[in-house]
Structure 1
Amino acid sequence: MGSLAGIEPTSLTGPLFSYFYSLDDTTRFRSVVAMADLTARIADQSLERAKIILRRMMWNLNDESGGIGWGSCEAMGEILRDSDILARDFGSILLSYIDPCGNFLEHEMLQRGVLWGVGTILETQDIGVESAMTNLAPFLGSSDPIKRGYAVRAMSFCRNRSDRLKPYRFPDQIQHDQTMIPLFDGWFMVKVSIAALALPDHDRTESGMFIES
């Protein structure tokens, strides 16, 4: 990321958006992280310009945009995780994409992205934690193991952020689900079992959660 630091931020926005459509998971997730870093730099100069980037991501998720919106939810989560100010304005919008009474995204593949993005924002932000937990729960029964795993990841963060949710236990089928899914660790794609994602934090660390790179 350091190699991008000397480049004018506004000249990077377009190229980074194009990498959201990469078929390579590592490239796509790295571009998401780079976009979050870029947006943070822009926000330091102009909060309104940073908001424009987030609005573009929202627009990409609309049918009217003509696009699919790949990477938009993941990037929103990454940006909002690290900005309390932007999270206050846009956090509820990101969470609405898993809300059946909100702006629920029905596209099966986009649901993976929104589950990842919701999990990412919930690492640090306390916005709508309990309602998010409710809206995430149905994804535990998904036939798509990646959606199951991303839902478990997000719900684990919910559990960490709310005293009322701390006693929550995942269903037995999740606790024993040894299906391996790809997970981005901040720079590389690794593989982890869904059961490992369901472990409490201290057990997860001791278990050596990330099995393969």
Structure 2
Amino acid sequence: MMAGWYKTRIKGLLASKQFSEIVNLDAKPKSLIKVLLGLLYEKDPMISWRAVQALGLVLEQRAGGEVEVAREVIRRLLWSLNDESGGTGWYAPQAMGAVIATRPEALAEYIPIMFSFVDDPRLTTGVLWGMAEVARKKRALVQHYTAEILPWLDSPDRQIRTHAWWALYCIDPRLVLQVEASALGGKIYWQGELVSPAVLQQAF
């Protein structure tokens, strides 16, 4: 009953973008993490995206950046991508990116594992978003993926090419100087909303 109450409460807070309230809820960090992992499967994509953001915030601010807690979360996310899990963790790559970004150097071993899913068309966007998250915190850890990300700029899928642009932009804006951000056509999750690349370009 208590777990159900927390899920309803957290889902409502995600719907209204009240991230600080989620972080400060009177619950154990692991309980919050469990609920947020479950909300990655919501039918409403915006709830799932916000759960990704909240997951990173809880790990960083409530779990004190504890590496072992983060490792356990990543293991659960990887399991969700396993056929034997019985579910499909379509938001697992971006959640991995958010988690790795909380302690990028300590969790760097998971970056190549996350990137290994980039060729799955159902996960490409999430992987590229995750790479951007890590790059924003510690670009040196993902710079050597530049050559592998660049071809995705030519994807016929506007979300994929938009997220390739974002990953490269976060690694080094000079990599995409010749790309017209306003012409990419996709949207990127940023601070609770889906925004255009041009908006992010102006923000950084």
Superposition TM-score tier, normalisation by shorter sequence: 0.7 to 0.9
1:163 is aligned to none
Pairwise mapping of residues 30-179 of structure 1 onto structure 2 (< 5 A)? 30-41=50-61, 43-44=63-64, 46-98=66-118, 105-106=119-120, 108-125=121-138, 126-130=140-144, 132-160=145-173, 166=174, 168-169=175-176, 174-175=179-180, 178-179=183-184
1:101 is aligned to none
In the TM superposition, residue 42 of structure 1 has moved relative to its aligned partner by 5.8
Q: Is the 8 A contact 2:161 2:184 kept in 1?
A: no
Secondary structure at the counterpart of residue 136 of structure 2:
coil
Secondary structure at the counterpart of residue 73 of structure 2:
helix
TM-score, with normalisation over the residues of structure 1?
Answer: 0.73
In the TM superposition, residue 85 of structure 1 has moved relative to its aligned partner by 4.2
2:185 is aligned to 180
**Cα separation, partners in 2 of 1:176 and 1:72, compared to 1, 3 Å:** closer
Rounded to whole Å, the distance in 1 between the matches of 2:166 and 2:28 is 35
TM-score, with normalisation over the residues of structure 2?
Answer: 0.76
Rounded to whole Å, the distance in 2 between the matches of 1:78 and 1:140 is 22
Q: CA RMSD in A?
A: 2.7
1:8-58 CA-to-partner distances (Å, cap 9, x unmatched) read 112222321221122323211110011112222464285322211111112
Higher helix share: 2
Unmatched 5+ stretches in structure 2: 1-18
In the TM superposition, residue 180 of structure 1 has moved relative to its aligned partner by 3.0
In the TM superposition, residue 137 of structure 1 has moved relative to its aligned partner by 1.5
Rounded to whole Å, the distance in 2 between the matches of 1:10 and 1:76 is 16
Rounded to whole Å, the distance in 2 between the matches of 1:45 and 1:170 is 35
Tell me the number of residue pairs that the alignment of Structure 1 and Structure 2 aligns: 183
Work out whether 1:8 is the aligned partner of 2:22. Answer: no
In the TM superposition, residue 68 of structure 1 has moved relative to its aligned partner by 1.9
Rounded to whole Å, the distance in 1 between the matches of 2:65 and 2:159 is 37
Identity %: 24
Unmatched 5+ stretches in structure 1: 99-104, 161-165
Rounded to whole Å, the distance in 1 between the matches of 2:46 and 2:28 is 24
For 2:143, the aligned partner's letter is V
For 1:30, the aligned partner's letter is R
